[in-house]
Amino acid sequence: MSSPLLGQSLSQLTQWVEQQGQPAYRGQQIYQWIYQRGARSLGEITVLPQQWRSTLDSVAIGRSSVHHRSQATDQTVKYLLRLQDGQIIETVGIPTAKRLTVCVSSQVGCPMGCLFCATGQGGLQRNLECHEIVDQVLTVQEDFGQRVSNVVFMGMGEPLLNRDAVLEAIRVLNQEVGIGQRSITLSTVGIPGQIRRLGETGQVGDRPLQFTLAVSLHASNQSVRHSLIPSAQAYPLEALLEECRDYVRLTHRRVTFEYILLARVNDRPEHAQELAQCLRGFQSHVNLIPYNPISEADYQRPDRHRIEAFSQILQKHRIAVSVRYSRGLDADAACGQLRATVAGAGA
């Protein structure tokens, strides 16, 4: 097995140990130590024969190391994780009284270039592999000392540009780590054809697709969206919404739309009216996200009155809406901020 052990199923691990001349039950032992006990090397798995363990130094489980840890006053923790090739990614652990959510990255950097995003200003280095995504969840779970209940693909990168690895990571998180698909959210800015393809596939591994699709809209018309998201030039707003309608029809699951509120850019009453018209008759939910200012951009957060006014207009038009304030504001909460500011992070 040339790929890391993290991400492998029980049957795959069992097949591997048998190829090594070991009894099948060793696969179960390795599986439990990787997914339940967080083993970072085969040398830590003390139930394995010492003589065999000594021959396995070159076999990687596939865990990262914590390069930097920053904890906010609300107990949100942001991590910089160093991968095996030295690249740095961000991961966030977000605790509440009832759940522990992990915000994971799907790429090292991001190619989309959204003007309000710190990650987008740094460009793309590479895609993450399945084990590098799953590792983020295990790292947060170990650090907090409690099970992760929810995972959101809202960190660095565009998940649908790394579709195969992301879907395999969702399969592993669901089937091997034990996180329900309905507790996993995949966020995308929209890649032409990929949302429809996702709906047509309708599967994660051998199970029906049940995770939540969140589409980063951030504008109520094509002009504003293109001014914020360069890739929108090749993917008009109406084409994106049409794919989302197809996705709802194919999967019978609603779409969540994310809308970052930027003061005097997309937060006016007429923008709310336009957005309501776009989503009329849509099986959807809107998350309004007041902007988290970054040094790399001049955008500002609207005041609470403008935020509430925007929300009320959507409600008046019977659009399901929630306002989601960022957590960890004193820990470089915006995506890409910590990676860009910590010395030695390579950003």
Q: Which of the residues are catalytic? A: 90, 335
Q: At what angle do helices 269-278 and 304-316 cross, to 10 degrees?
A: 30
Nearby residues of 304 by Cβ (< 8 Å), 6 or more positions away: none
Q: CB–CB of 262/291 below 8 Å?
A: yes
User: d(Cα 118, Cα 334) in Å, to the nearest integer?
Assistant: 7
Name the strand (E) or helix (H) holding 108.
strand 107-109
User: d(Cα 163, Cα 174) in Å, to the nearest integer?
Assistant: 16
User: d(Cα 94, Cα 327) in Å, to the nearest integer?
Assistant: 7
**Which phi and psi (to 5°) does residue 136 adopt?**
-60, -40
165 torsion bin: left (phi>0), alpha (psi -120 to 50), beta (else): alpha
User: d(Cα 220, Cα 238) in Å, to the nearest integer?
Assistant: 10
Q: CB–CB of 86/96 below 8 Å?
A: no
252 burial level (CB within 10 Å; 0-12, 13-18, 19+) = exposed
Q: CB–CB of 266/218 below 8 Å?
A: yes
